[in-house]
Chains A and B, each alone.
Chain A
Amino acid sequence: MDWNFVIFSTLKILCVIFLALMPMVAYAVLAERKISAFIQDRVGPNRVSLPLIGGIPIIGPFLTRWGVWQPMADGLKAFLKEDFTPNYVRKAYFWLAPALTMTPAFLTIAVIPFGSNLGNQKMVIADLNVGILYTFGIVSLGVYGIVLAGYASNSKYPFLGGIRSTAQMISYEIAMGMSVIPVFLVAGDLNLSKIVERQALEGWFALPFMAQQQTLMSYLLWPCAMISFFIFLVSAFAETNRLPFDLPESETELVAGYNTEYSSIKFALFFMGEYANMIAASCMMVTLFFGGWSLPGLATPANTILAGLLHIGVFVGKMLVFMVLFIWVRWMLPRFRYDQLMDLGWRRFVPLALANILVTATVLLLLNSK
């Protein structure tokens, strides 16, 4: 057995999950609360202070005002609250559902190349040659958590939420899956690391001018890539149950949708799962359409530790842009009606994605036959 590989893989998994993903989820919640507050003329969390740090002049009050310690208080609260299980629920599924929501979100991260190299390690947990197929497989599992929560709660609103999420997530998975096919037609590879490396050299699919060397081909394929990206973006909103597609939760109609009967840390798991899903979706968009860790001038895989860290920083920066987009759109658009959602998915996006595949394939055929 290659012990080196085992040790470094474990290290990467632990670092990504506990040092990157979990804090990011926690602070995504804070960002959501702060940005939402600003959009609604409020100030957001500005109370939590730590005993020693809070006493430091200027810095202490500043951190408190920006709610930097709020995620800790939130987490502590989630653990200490009464964990109430109604006695009419189906216990086994009721306990299983939060875990099933949280895990797929984390598993998706495994194939994302979040950096080029650090030392002699590739900065991706699992460099699968069928990366995107793995992602879609895992993303499909995500729906089970919500459906099981709706079913196990044995109560009408969670049940309606569960039904809605089944229909919504399955419908948009099709559009999402087909929207990325043009990317792979162009790249000629399913491995996400290879896709990023190609984009680094020949231009990001969504922004072809961000390239090491300009090619005519990437400009000709720009419209197709933009349509792909647009469908992927909208589908990502639907898959992560974010507004304007938060029908499984829709608190104005369904109390809180699928998680109505949940409390304490089980509810927090659903909540964290949603944000982890948002992070995973942002990572996918950055990887597929915005050149992953690359920037023009930083296009070759890193040889030094510094360049490697820089690449990781670039990736995280791009991802944060999408996180802000996710949060911002929540307050921009009202919720779609259920039939409008289905109409948009099946009658607009699926045909559009199919046509897009055809056009991309034709353009590639014409370009390559010269």
Chain B
Amino acid sequence: MIVQRKPLTFWERLYLPAIAGGFKVTWKHFRRTLFGGDNAAKQTSKGYYPEVPWTVADGYRGAPYLLKDQDGNTKCVSCQLCEFVCPPKAIKITPPGDSGLKADRSNAEKMPLEFEINMLRCIFCGFCQEVCPEEAIFLQKDYSLTGLTRSEMIYDKEKLLALGGTNAGIQKWKHKLEEAKVQETFPVKL
């Protein structure tokens, strides 16, 4: 597409109409806020942020937490894709090793010995959520994470699982199992 750029008229090239227009707009807002007692916070909610908490919309990308499946088992299988994709290198996974921790659910071979997200580094980009083959990590609604020390801001596996809760919405392996069971019999009824 070619944008048509009309040559400016002399009047426009003086910048004066732009200045007048700019003043008109800014004065309108200034007057309304200062003398009219109106402001954006009043229009959208009942007050200002710390007293009136912000209503987080669905689909908001806040802090990433680990999820449990519908049976309360860890979904993460310690594949380390999220650790690999994480742009600020906020995620650190310690795999269980050869004879280490077995997964607490079927359909999985292992689960992480330790899973740490440094919330000081995390940029809430959502790559981990996107890359996860097990749907085990999701960006959730938390946006205001605070702590008094740096070490406090490194969230470990227990904390991430506790904060993340259960996601019964997507039940990938349950459905896979059902499919597998159905396919045992012939003809397949699905």
Minimum distance in angstroms from A39 CB to a CB of chain B = 5
Residue A333 CB within 8 A of the other chain: yes
Q: Is the CB of B22 within 8 A of A41?
A: no
Tell me whether A41 and B32 are in contact (CB under 8 A).
yes
B 1-33 binary contact with A (CB < 8 Å = 1; else 0) = 000000000000000001100110110011011
Query: At the interface, yes or no: B145 with Cβ under 8 Å from chain A?
Result: no
Please give, as numbers and ranges, the residues of chain A lying within 8 Å of B40 by CB-CB distance. 40-42
B107 at the interface (CB under 8 A from A): no
Interface size class of A (residues with CB under 8 A): 10 to 19
Chain A-chain B contacts (Cβ-Cβ < 8 Å), number: 39
A167 in the interface (beta carbon within 8 A): no
Is B101's beta carbon under 8 Å from chain A? no
The 8 A CB mask of A1-40 against B (1 = contact, 0 = none) is 0000000000000000000000000000000000101111
B39 within 8 A of A: yes
B56 within 8 A of A: no
What is the 8 Å Cβ interface bit string for chain B, positions 118-155, against chain A (1 contact, 0 not)?
00000000000000000000000000000000000000
> What chain A residues lie within 8 Å of B29 (beta carbons)?
38-41
Our pick among A38, A332, A333 for the contact of B33 (Cβ within 8 Å) is A38
| Residues on the A chain within 8 Å of B34, using CB | 38
- Scan residues 114-171 of chain A and give those whose CB is less than 8 A from a CB of chain B: none
Please give, as numbers and ranges, the residues of chain A lying within 8 Å of B26 by CB-CB distance.
39, 328, 331-332
Contact assessment for B23 and A38 in the assembled complex, using a CB-CB cutoff below 8 Å: no
Asked if B39 and A333 make an inter-chain contact with CB atoms under 8 angstroms apart, the answer reads no
B23 to chain A: closest residue by CB: A332
- Give residues in B with beta carbon < 8 Å to A: 18-19, 22-23, 25-26, 29-30, 32-34, 38-41, 43, 48
> Mind listing 13 A-B residue pairs with CB under 8 Å?
A38-B30, A38-B33, A39-B26, A39-B29, A41-B39, A42-B39, A42-B41, A43-B33, A43-B39, A328-B23, A331-B26, A332-B26, A333-B22
* A contacts, CB < 8 Å to B: 35, 37-43, 328, 331-333
